[in-house]
Amino acid sequence: MKRSNLLLFLLALGLSGSVTSEVLPVEPTSRSLIGARPTMTFLTEATNAEVTLVVVMGYPGHFGLRTGDSEVRNQTARMLLAIPYRQRVKANVVILDSPSPLQGIPARSSADHLERIHSVVNFYSNKLNKPVWIFGHSDGSISVSEYLNRSIENRNSVAGIILSAGRSETRITDDWALPALVLHHDRDGCEVTPYEGAQRYYSAIKTRNSSLTELATVQGGVSSGSPCSTGFHMYERANGEALTHIENFLYKNIKH
């Protein structure tokens, strides 16, 4: 294992702690994917963790992780990898790396992609023996919501869900019976992830989901560059605010 290569970023957030990270391949378990390339994952493991957070990122969802890598080159992934250093909730974080870029909603709801998520969730549930929460950012909200919509087995495999800066097309087709947090910036400028879209799918989830469902609004930060890959959409200069919302919701919904 390697020490995480996020030291300067974490110091800027005022965080510290004993954490290790490594890249691990996860073999697909579905019969239809036997012999296919493994799903590469970046694990940051916290001391005395209470929960594991499996993260599915937005477009392209593919980082090209290789064994020995010490970081994930994505702004929001870097933010989430600070969670193991937080004080109120100790959580492991797993970043899922798709073997190829995921273009659009069809790719996010494909059997191949959803079965890879299932393999990763089960692998880390068994490896770390902690409740698994699943987190989807941007297009990843489609991945996560369709994973839960697909089967009761998938819903039973996780303990909670966080949808971050999600696409307006995010939907719920059955009672997830899981604590669900919708996290969104009120000035998200990406055309497929407006705040109004998050409000709509939050209302739909709250109506159908029998467990606690909350909307957390991020208001700080700055706008810069492409509205779908920087700025408010990625919680630029609002990492601490976004992390506090995540940590508070986890704290309310996990056993201590």
CA distance 16 to 89: 13
Strand partners, 54: 94, 134
CA distance 230 to 199: 21
Q: Angle at CA 21, nearest 5°, toward 136 and 252?
A: 45
pLDDT of amino acid 212: 98
Quote the number of domains for the chain.
Answer: 1
Is residue 63 within 8 Å of 82, Cβ to Cβ?
Answer: no
- What's the mean pLDDT in 43-70? 94
What is the token pair recorded at 248? 């508070």
CA distance 10 to 85: 8
pTM across the whole model = 0.92
pLDDT of amino acid 29: 83
- What's the mean pLDDT in 160-177? 98
Q: Pick the residue with more confidence: 35 or 64?
A: 64
Give residue 17's pLDDT band: very low, low, confident or very high (50, 70, 90).
low
Q: Could you identify the residue written with the tokens 């303990």?
A: 159
pLDDT of amino acid 94: 98
Q: Could you identify the residue written with the tokens 């966080």?
A: 162
- What's the mean pLDDT in 213-224? 96
**pLDDT more than 70, % of the chain:** 91
Q: Which domain holds residue 203?
A: 2-253
In this model, does residue 179 exceed pLDDT 90? yes
In this model, does residue 10 exceed pLDDT 70? no
CATH of the domain at 67: 3.40.50.1820
CA distance 29 to 85: 31
Cβ neighbours, 10 Å, residue 11: 10
Say whether 113 sits in a helix, a strand or coil: helix
Give residue 191's pLDDT band: very low, low, confident or very high (50, 70, 90).
very high
Give residue 35's pLDDT band: very low, low, confident or very high (50, 70, 90).
low
Tell me which H or E stretch contains 154: helix 152-156
In this model, does residue 16 exceed pLDDT 80? no
Condensed to tens digits (0 to 9), the pLDDT of residues 71-82 reads: 898 888 999 999
**Which range has the worst mean pLDDT, 86-90, 106-110, 181-185?**
86-90
Please state the φ and ψ torsions of residue 73, each to the nearest 5 degrees. Answer: -85, 75
Condensed to tens digits (0 to 9), the pLDDT of residues 95-120 reads: 999 999 999 999 999 999 999 999 99
Give residue 234's pLDDT band: very low, low, confident or very high (50, 70, 90).
very high
Of all residues in the chain, what percent are helix, strand and coil, respectively (each to 5)?
Answer: 35, 20, 45
234-242 long-range Cβ contacts below 8 angstroms, 24+ apart? 234/75, 234/76, 234/79, 234/165, 235/76, 235/79, 235/165, 235/185, 236/75, 238/185, 239/13, 239/79, 239/82, 240/13, 242/79, 242/164, 242/183, 242/218
In this model, does residue 1 exceed pLDDT 80? no
What is the token pair recorded at 242? 């976004």
**Which range has the worst mean pLDDT, 9-18, 107-116, 119-128, 213-222?**
9-18
Q: Angle at CA 206, nearest 5°, toward 195 and 105?
A: 55
Give residue 34's pLDDT band: very low, low, confident or very high (50, 70, 90).
low
Say whether 41 sits in a helix, a strand or coil: strand
In this model, does residue 9 exceed pLDDT 80? no
